Every structure is written in structure tokens, then in C-alpha cells.
Amino acid sequence: MKIAVIGSGYVGLVAGACFADSGTTVVCVDRDERKLRLLEKGEVPFYEPRLGDIVKKNWPERLTFSSDLGTSIRGAQAIFIAVGTPPREDGSADLSHVLGVAEQVAQLAEHDIVLVTKSTVPVGTNRKVLETARAHTKFKVSVVSNPEFLKEGDAVNDFMKPDRIVIGTHDDRAFEIMSRLYAPFNRQQNRVIRMSPESAEIVKYAANSLLAAKISFMNEIAQVCDATGGDVEDVRIGMGSDKRIGMHFLYAGLGFGGSCFPKDLRALVDTGSRLGIDMAISRASTATNQVPVQVLLANMERDLGGLAGKTIAIWGLAFKPGTDDVREAPALAIIAELKQRGAQVRATDPQARETALESMKASGTDDIVTLTPRPYEACEGADALIIATEWSEYRNPDLERLASLLRSKWVFDGRNVLVPQAAGEAGLNYRGVGRPVVLAGK
């Protein structure tokens, strides 16, 4: 089979590379010539484990890159739309790129086309894409909703071994093409779920919103634990042992970030508003997600006797481990607050220093931050350490060394990765999220 993937960002490149690795002939299309040249060298413009190796393995036999849309879609049995749907100020998804691609493809088509929306889009987009394409071509157009369910940091594994493959279409021929395309990832058991385009469009938003709600709920429970002396880790295990609930996404911490949960929650709330439905739970999840950073800062200000003139070390800038994505990362929200309160920051991250610096320059917070690739160097002479991202290398540090480097001996564990008692025995003051405070030597 031959397919074209329009958009070589996170979703499009992962999909294109993984399809190519399964034997499909793939052309990834992008307007950014510099990005295309980098990809031809096997250089992926963002950090995602294993992705660069797959790109190198399949280029140029099964995977090629082009800015020529007309040539790229010629003979393609499916054309994937994987361009951005950035949020507008009101939270709604901007579909101009998606509909623009649909129009261009239709104008250039030389045969019947199957358009596949891979971008995360609100319900009703399938119909808009179909109407747009049909208005600009004489050929038959079928539109399939095929949402992605990729976790940053584990996207290749998610694509290769999916929990489910959602295909939303009323067209039997289009469904057959999609089934053949996904067959290599579907051999062990049938993971294909066929449904209406509307249902497929809702699935992605519904799944992300429920997962985000679990995180926000656990952060509320963490506040209850802080107020009463409970330990949210014990509560988590007690809750998660119930098979109806499960352990996934029951971790208290600094809240969620990234490109999906915040954007998708806002888009779902906007969709509900347009339909006259109050998406109260999704709204509350978004609001609750802002609280943990403020709680941490309030605790830090009290424990340190103020933040003005203090130097704070931060381990972790990405919104989660395994990625260099800092979009809506709690660490950057903390840095913005620390600037307002007169503090200085020394920060580190295994992968996200460059993306964080770019974001901080845009927000005007880079002037208080010193970046270093070495975690312990960030702590030298600092008044306190915040663990903001649960990278594996931060889970079992040399606690005695940390105690010797930090002036106030305070560690604020925003991801609950350290063992509190071990931190206290090493001479550190420890405060997690929803966990009992442990003081040095106690």
C-alpha cells in the first residue's frame, strides 16, 4: 500500500514512520524544507525514544519526505491529515489547517480519495472535511476519523502495540483500506473498533478528559491528606486495588501538562457549550489542575521564610519524563511564579533544556534561570530543591550529597518519587504532595 501523511509533527511523523516500518510505502509531507532535510538525515526535530532509529531504518526505501503535495498524494490509497489544531482564546480548536489541507488535496486529486483525520478534532469535523473536499473535486471522497492515542515518551510502542484502533466511517471501502493498513499491528487479536465518525471524534476527547479528571481528583485527595495527616500514597494503593478503579493515573503531583490534556479539556468544554451542555467535570478538572503548583509555592514560602532573594533548584522541565515537550509544564509555571516573588532559579532536565529556554524567552522568565546539564550542580548553594518531573535519574539520588549542597536542606518533591524517611535520615527536610512532612534527623 501507499499512503501520504500531511504534517510531519509529533503525530504525523510517528504514524508515518511506524506504518513504513510495517512495510507500507509512506510519503510524509511538510512545508518546512529545513525539517524535511533534517528528517532525511534521520534527525527527528523533537525527542521521542526509538523514533529516530525507525526513521533511519526506513528512509528512503519505504519512508520519504516531500513538500510537493500533488506528487505525494498521487496513487495514495489513504491520505492522513496530521496537522495542528491549536486552541483559540476561547478554548475551541482551530480547524483552519485541517480544512485547508482537505481543500488542497481535493484540488490536486487525480483519483478517488480516502481522507483520514489523524489530528485531534472536535465532533463534527469529519462532516466539515467531507463538505470541503467535495466542493473542490470531481472524484469520490471518503473521510475516516482515526484518532491517535499516543503517549509522549512511549509513542512508538503505543502505535506498534495499540490498545485499540478506532476507525470512524460509514464507507465500507474506506474501512477495508484502513483495516488492511492496520493489519500488521492487529495480528494477535482484533483491536479494530468500527464506529460512526461522530463517535470516533468524541472518543479521544472523552478518554483524555477522564484521565485528566483522575489526576485532578487525586490532587484534591492529596490536599485532604495534607490537612489531616494522611498519606496519599497509602490512599492511592487502597483505591487502586479496587479492580473497578485500577492503579493508572492515580498519582498525586504537580498536575498535568503537555499538548493533549489541557487543550482537549478546553476543547471539550467549548464543544459542550456550543451544544448547550455544561461540561462541569471537565471544567473542574482544568481548574483543579492549577492548584498543586500554588500549594507547593505557598508551602515553600512558609517553610523557607519567604522566597525573595532565595535560589531554588529545579529538577525537571518537561511536562513528563521521556519527552522534551514543555507545553504547559508545571515547572515553567513554577518559574514564572518564582520570578514574581523575587527568587532565582537553577534548573536542569535530561532532554528539555533547549525547549524550556525557548519557552522561557518567549514568556520573559529566562532572566532568572541558569540552566545546567548536571543535577547536583543546580543544587550547589541553592536554598531548596523542587523535583518537578519524575525522570528515572531523579528517583534515587545521593541524598547525603543533596543535604551537603542545599543551604536550607529542603526538598519539595512535586512528583512523590523519593522515600520521605530516607530523605530525613540523610539530613534533608522533605515535603511531598499529600504526604507527611519529614524533617532532617526525625
| Rounded-to-integer distance, Cα 357 and Cα 371, Å | 8
Catalytic residue among 18, 28, 225, 260: 260
Query: What are all long-range contacts of 414-417, with beta carbons under 8 Å and residues at least 24 apart?
Result: 414/253, 414/254, 414/292, 414/296, 414/330, 414/386, 414/387, 414/388, 415/251, 415/253, 415/254, 415/316, 415/387, 415/388, 415/389, 415/390, 416/232, 416/233, 416/251, 416/252, 416/253, 417/387, 417/390
Give the residue from 234, 233, 237 showing the smallest Cα distance to 247.
Answer: 237
Helix (H) or strand (E) holding 232: helix 232-240
Q: 345 and 332 in contact (C-beta within 8 Å)? A: no
| Rounded-to-integer distance, Cα 347 and Cα 324, Å | 14
Q: How far apart are the first and last CA of the chain?
A: 65
| Residue 407 burial by Cβ neighbours in a 10 Å radius (0-12, 13-18, 19+) | middle
Give the residue from 111, 26, 114 showing the smallest Cα distance to 75.
Answer: 111
Q: 99 and 81 in contact (C-beta within 8 Å)? A: no
Give the residue from 187, 45, 39, 38 showing the smallest Cα distance to 26.
Answer: 39
User: For the stretch 165-202, what's the b/e string if a residue is b when 16 or more beta carbons lie within 10 angstroms of its beta carbon?
Assistant: bbbbbebeebbebbeebbeebeeeeeebebeebeebbb
Cell output for 192: 479494530
Asked about 260 being catalytic, the answer comes back as yes
DSSP annotation of 68 reads: -
Q: 194 and 232 in contact (C-beta within 8 Å)? A: no
Active site residues: 260
